[in-house]
Structure 1
Amino acid sequence: MPRTPVYIVSSPRPDVGKTLISRVLSEFLLLQNGNVLAFDINLREPSLLDYLPRTTETAAIDDTRAQMALMDRLIINDGVSKVIDLGLHAFDDFFRVVDEIGFMKEAIRHGIEPVVLFIPDATRTSSNAWTMLRKTFPGSPLIPVDNEHVLHGETPKDFTSVRPLRIAALPAFLRSIVQRQTFSFTHYLRTAQDSSAELHQWTRANYTKFRNLEARLKLYE
Structure 2
Amino acid sequence: MFARLAELNPHPTTELEYSTPFELLIAVMLSAQATDVGVNKATRRLFPVANTPAAILALGEDELKRHISTIGLFNTKAKNVIATCRILLERYGGEVPRDRDALEALPGVGRKTANVVLNTAFGEETIAVDTHIFRVANRTGLAPGANVRVVEDALLKRVPREFRRDAHHWLILHGRYVCVARKPKCPECVIRDLCAYRPKTPP
| Pairwise same-fold verdict (TM > 0.5) | no
The normalised TM-score by structure 2 is 0.29
The normalised TM-score by structure 1 is 0.28
Higher relative CO (Cα under 8 Å, sequence separation at least 6) belongs to 1
Q: Relative to total residues, which structure has the larger helix share, 1 or 2?
A: 2
Q: Relative to total residues, which structure has the larger strand share, 1 or 2?
A: 1
